[in-house]
Structure 1
Amino acid sequence: MTIMRIYSIYVDDIIVTGSSNQYIPEVITQLSSHFALKDMEKLHYFLGLEVAYTTDGSLLLFQTKYVNDILKKANMVGCKLYATPIPSSLRLSKTGSPPFNDPALYCAVVGSLQYLTIT
């Protein structure tokens, strides 16, 4: 049997989880022999992911809060839904429209959307 182990580490935060509770204490012991660890007990929110637990112990992941935060950042709370915001036949060019008035906001929103699609 092949055991697949996936580690997700972000700066100084780490989640140790897996489909088998048998190996988790072993991984934590090995990590704690090299790093100072603090067990934060049950996970509820981590890097934009909301975590809920089912009665059988499975995890459910949501990103509702993260999406709402992006909408607030982009001043789009309450905007109307639209299937395709730009016609697929539209030709974009560097000229013909005013420049975006807040490039830092644009970069932040695009980065947030990229992170949302990756996670």
Structure 2
Amino acid sequence: MSVYGLKQAPRAWYMALKQHLLDSGFTNSLADASLFIQGSGSNLTYVLVYVEDIIVTGSHSPTVDVVLTAFADRFSIKDLVDLHYFLGIEVSRSKRRMHLMQRKYINDLLLKTNMSDAKPVSTPLPTSPKLTLTSGALLDDPSKYRSVVGSLQYLSFTRPDISYVVSRLSQFMHRPTQDHWQAAKQVL
């Protein structure tokens, strides 16, 4: 479930929400400050907070319902809906599975970079030239490269097949060259 439209002042609201979750037995993830986890073993409940949007999910529906009811009792909730789209990730469900995809995110990225008409390639990493810190001429404006590689990092959540090349391209963020930009375009 997603909870939309919590309109309290952002910092005060987040601190109140965090305290509510901690008081309710959730622990704050050490890996991600926006993730809260409750339970143990096979009965786990997760709350993910992003600005004013919240995802509540878990392995036991009645427990998730209790968390949502506690939210409704404590906070002004505008809209409680099933999760379909969150932070560029599309969510679809079958009876036993949840499928995550970023089709819209990919299409938007291709439009933004004028790569919508690009032809598919067999591998996302070119075999030549070998990418090094000094290969190719420096880009006049590295901001587009950095933006695209940052977008590709986010895309690798649902596309692990590009994780290696995106990691490799990330190594050149401080000094990208034309060769690095061509490799980024190949991923696109």
Which residue in 1 is equivalent to 2:148? 109
Structure 1 or 2: more strand by fraction: 2
Unaligned runs of 5+ residues in structure 2 are: 1-39, 159-188
8 A contact 1:8–1:15 mirrored in 2: yes
Whether 1:71 and 2:110 are equivalent positions in the alignment is yes
Given the superposition, is the C-alpha separation of residues 88 and 29 from structure 1 closer, same or farther in structure 2, using an over 3 Å criterion?
farther
The residue correspondences of 1:15-30 to structure 2 (distance < 5 A) are 15-30=55-70
Separation (CA, whole Å) in 2 of partners of 1:4 and 1:104: 41
TM-score when scaled to structure 1?
0.76
Moved more, 59-68 or 79-88: 79-88
Q: How does 1:31-46 map to 2 (within 5 A)?
A: 31-46=71-86
Listed as ranges, the gaps of 5+ residues in structure 1 are none
Q: Deviations over 1:60-102 (max 9, x none)?
A: 32211111112222221121222144226715243x6333244
Identity of aligned residues (%): 39
Contact 1:73 1:109 in 2 (8 A): no
Alpha-carbon distance change, 106 to 89 in structure 1, aligned in 2, over 3 angstroms: closer
| Higher RCO by CA contacts (8 Å cutoff, separation 6 or greater) | 2
SS in 2 for 1:17: strand
- Residue 62 of structure 1 corresponds to 101
Q: What letter is aligned with 1:5?
A: T
* Alignment RMSD: 2.6
How far apart, in 2, do the equivalents of 1:66 and 1:60 lie? Answer: 15
What TM-score does the superposition give when structure 2 sets the normalisation length?
Answer: 0.52
